[in-house]
Structure 1
Amino acid sequence: MSVSMVLLASACGSDDGGGGSGSDSTALEGRGPITFATGKDTSGNLKNQVDAWNAEHPDEKVEVKELPESADQQRAQMIQNAQSKSDAYSVLNLDVVWTAEFAANRWVVELPPDQFPDLDKLIPATVDTGKYRDKLYAVPVTSDGGLLYYRKDLLDKAGAQPPKTWDEMTAACLKVQALPEAKGMSCYAGQFEKYEGLTVNFSEAVNSAGGVVVGEDGKPNVDTPEALAGLTQLVNGFKSKAIPSAAITYKEEEGRRAFQEGKLLFHRNWPYVYALAGKTDGSSKIAGKFAVAPLPGKDGPGVSTLGGHNYAISAFTKNKATAADFIKFMSSEERQKANVEKTSQAPTWAALYEDADLQKQFPYLAPLKASIDSAKSRPKVVKYGDVSTAIQEAAYNALTMKSEPKKALTDLQTKLSSLITQ
């Protein structure tokens, strides 16, 4: 993971995106009730976690402010709140790629590392996502690595192995689709709607072909043969119908539902899907029939985009001391283990991946840890929203055949160069 991706051209006091002028003080003072701004809880377990805090802190209760399911809409609402200097949100549940933007605009406060003594027990790559210019602004509570979910029952019947390369995945699809019970199934889907998930899937395709979106020098580098190979792989998937046409509208949940309904042989998604797809209450048609593997790549195992969520303290909230304690509570080993057990979301505590009970319950932990360890971050730039939007536009135009892949990447290189040098 390259720290050099951080855009140093913008000063920490930038009003990029209409930033506020909140305090950057590390003095975390003020106690009392707080609010927690977070995306829609698709896991169903957040209430249990917050209830555990509220039971122990009756005078400092947390109220959940649930934002939309879409990451882009979450970010927009958080920014709008910060620009108005509102104290409506106390703790923010940030996507790992938002740290630089929120820190540079002083929408969140710097966190004193000595108040978070367990940071060295977390996966180092996750801690890095909470830093901007080597200072801590957010604490990682969940991580994420992309996984390849697949129908183990059908691969076994067809005599196929979990694929390590894109060609192997295509070959396995052909074998399985020849089975009577696989009639009408599509080969593969990820997240291809024009939103943050498309940035992730595009980045993984490029990285898995040996390319980069932004290089170690902090400069964009997408007009390359490697990036072209990655984007072309996705485009050809839509052209050949290996990726169903409906997948152009898929975000995480649409894809998950399609996989659970038995419409997909392979599906790229995050760890949270494991618990939901394995439910035996009738909501999943594939419970007990699927497994997970690392993402495939061009010539071998692919590269995941590093995901996850970090908790940060709004610069405009009054009760920052309570907010800090709530973050410590939610990021603790005990709370993270309880969350894994209920949701299958990836923890940031390294030791939990070695927990015998969890390994028995969640066989995906080994490939997930490998996915996170080898994952690459999205560009850590202050203008991340604009950068991500440009990536989404270019990739979407190519996937919908509005632009040839080569031209889409050439145009994207030009656009990113203007955004990342400003």
Structure 2
Amino acid sequence: MRFERSHTRKAAVVAVASSLVLLASACGGGDDGGSSNGGGSAGALEGRGPITLASGKDTSGNLQNQLNAWNASHPNEKVELKELPEDADAQRQQMVQNAQANSDAYSVLVMDVVWTSEFAANQWITQIPEDKVPDLGKLIPATVETAKYRDKLYGVPITSDGGLLYYRKDLLTKAGITDAPKTWADMVAACQKVQALPEAKGMGCYSGQFEKYEGLTVNFAEAVNSAGGSIVDKDGKPSVNTPEAKAGLDELVNGFKTGAIPKAAITYKEEESRRAFQEGKLVFLRNWPYVYAKAAATDGTSKVAGKFGVAPLPGKDGPGVSSLGGHDYAIASSAKNKATAIDFINFMASEARQKANIEKTSQAPTWASLYDDAALNKQFPYLAPLKASIEKAQPRPRVVKYGDVTAAIQQAAYDALNGKVAPDKALADLQTKLQSLITQ
């Protein structure tokens, strides 16, 4: 998921007007196609007619196909794609600006899973009665939780995401390594053996996403969590200034210092790192499931097709912990035609649509049953470990001021990776900053 997968927040919560919720109808039948602009937690799902879908740049190339499937059977309620930038932070900014202007330009928002608290607290998205989403109980529970704020549903999970380790299986085998590494130390040792091969001359060892954007928050969180640390504790309080968190950050800092992580990786987002792996420039890559389909392409666009494997992320003492990624579809509070919007969301959340999407893009579904589908497992051998990764993945901080929180994390991590600030000072300063941003 990228940022997806991946990737913010303010305050103020309005009490739920339960009578309106009970009257809300996802079918909205009998009205003249007008708008219902009920805000946030009290919005009625009324109004039928054309809608828009605000989504980040579709790097998969399949989203319009999904929309065409809806539009073909709903000629009077067509969905128009409003494509936003590829960068998750820029997507969020445009959605916030639209909400603050009370504009109806965006009907359904494709939201990073960490935006729910901010958008719900500010009444920028409409609460969705759970009985309006008939398949909710068939989705992986961890994905459903990403769409909730204070135990109320504000979106529907359409895709999930867990970080995976892509590796050059052919080169590891040639170097005498039979299994994918389970720890950072194992991965570095494997790299050294592979890089000694003539065909691996000039290859970089490992990359994730280290540009200063949401992907850096994800990679930092995974490093910290995989070393036994946390950014916020189970009570929601900052807990990043610990030996465990430092051990995780040290792995990344030392990677850049030693060259195990190429210098160019400080500029990598998802796509840059994917291209580097596909072009044969990396032995190992941390990225999302969507990369699988592109790396496995046999049309000449990938130099590693048939040569790579997929494994869980490495950790300090064993397999690591992924950040929970993915996207939820939410209804903008200022949108028109919300009855059409919820019907469209249910269409996109259906098992059939999610199956069609993974077959074309390898993006992780939220339907639990699809991870047990024999045909899909044959096509995507990583599905079983991916499901386990998603089920035990740790969310990034679920806080109302997420925009400020992730910016602080990105700055601290970026300064440490660039050698501007020592890791222990970066974490101490980040702890202080988070304490000022996260209030209970």
Q: Is the 1:21–1:106 contact (alpha carbons within 8 Å) kept by the matching residues of 2? A: no
Residue in structure 1 matching 2:202, options 169, 178, 184: 184
SS in 2 for 1:106: coil
Which residue number in structure 2 is paired with residue 222 of structure 1?
240
Shift of 1:21: 8.9
RMSD in angstroms over aligned alpha carbons? 1.6
Residue in structure 2 matching 1:198, options 186, 199, 216: 216
CA displacement 1:179-226 (0-9 Å, x = unmatched): 100000010000000000000000000000000000001101010000
Shift of 1:364: 1.0
Residue in structure 1 matching 2:86, options 69, 72, 80: 69
Which residue number in structure 1 is paired with residue 51 of structure 2?
34
- For 1:413 and 1:357, the matched residues in 2 are separated by 47
Which residue number in structure 2 is paired with residue 59 of structure 1?
76
Question: In 2 relative to 1, CA 179–89 (structure 1 residues): closer, same or farther, beyond 3 Å?
Answer: same
Q: Is the 1:162–1:293 contact (alpha carbons within 8 Å) kept by the matching residues of 2? A: yes
SS in 1 for 2:91: helix
Which residue number in structure 1 is paired with residue 302 of structure 2?
284
Residue in structure 2 matching 1:105, options 115, 122, 147: 122
Residue in structure 2 matching 1:328, options 304, 323, 346: 346
| AA of the residue aligned to 1:84 | A
Give the structure-2-normalised TM-score.
0.92
Matches within 5 A, 1:91-130: 91-130=108-147
Consecutive unaligned residues of structure 2, counting only runs of 5 or more, are 1-7, 16-36
Which residue number in structure 1 is paired with residue 269 of structure 2?
251
- For 1:336 and 1:249, the matched residues in 2 are separated by 32
Question: In 2 relative to 1, CA 382–199 (structure 1 residues): closer, same or farther, beyond 3 Å?
Answer: same
Residue in structure 2 matching 1:398, options 416, 419, 440: 416
- For 2:43 and 2:407, the matched residues in 1 are separated by 32
Matches within 5 A, 1:360-375: 360-375=378-393
Residue in structure 2 matching 1:345, options 355, 360, 363: 363
Give the structure-1-normalised TM-score.
0.96
Matches within 5 A, 1:260-279: 260-279=278-297
- For 2:41 and 2:10, the matched residues in 1 are separated by 19
CA displacement 1:340-387 (0-9 Å, x = unmatched): 000000000000000001000000111211110110000111100000
| AA of the residue aligned to 2:65 | N
Residue in structure 2 matching 1:83, options 100, 116, 125: 100
Consecutive unaligned residues of structure 1, counting only runs of 5 or more, are 1-6, 15-19
Which residue number in structure 2 is paired with residue 148 of structure 1?
165
What is the number of equivalent residue pairs in this alignment?
411
Shift of 1:66: 0.2
Identity rate of aligned residues, in percent?
74
- For 2:76 and 2:217, the matched residues in 1 are separated by 42
| AA of the residue aligned to 2:167 | Y
Tell me, yes or no, if structure 1 residue 167 matches structure 2 residue 168: no
Shift of 1:23: 4.8
Which residue number in structure 1 is paired with residue 67 of structure 2?
50
Shift of 1:266: 0.2
- For 2:11 and 2:220, the matched residues in 1 are separated by 26
CA displacement 1:230-279 (0-9 Å, x = unmatched): 00100000000000000000000000000000000000000000000111
Q: Is the 1:21–1:105 contact (alpha carbons within 8 Å) kept by the matching residues of 2? A: no
Shift of 1:281: 1.0
- For 1:122 and 1:284, the matched residues in 2 are separated by 33
- For 1:217 and 1:123, the matched residues in 2 are separated by 24
- For 1:240 and 1:24, the matched residues in 2 are separated by 51
- For 1:13 and 1:350, the matched residues in 2 are separated by 33
Question: In 2 relative to 1, CA 177–9 (structure 1 residues): closer, same or farther, beyond 3 Å?
Answer: closer
- For 1:208 and 1:159, the matched residues in 2 are separated by 27
- For 2:409 and 2:43, the matched residues in 1 are separated by 35
Question: In 2 relative to 1, CA 23–372 (structure 1 residues): closer, same or farther, beyond 3 Å?
Answer: closer
Residue in structure 2 matching 1:383, options 401, 416, 431: 401
- For 2:40 and 2:439, the matched residues in 1 are separated by 27
Question: In 2 relative to 1, CA 53–11 (structure 1 residues): closer, same or farther, beyond 3 Å?
Answer: same
Question: In 2 relative to 1, CA 23–204 (structure 1 residues): closer, same or farther, beyond 3 Å?
Answer: closer
SS in 2 for 1:141: strand
Shift of 1:318: 1.3
Tell me, yes or no, if structure 1 residue 304 matches structure 2 residue 322: yes
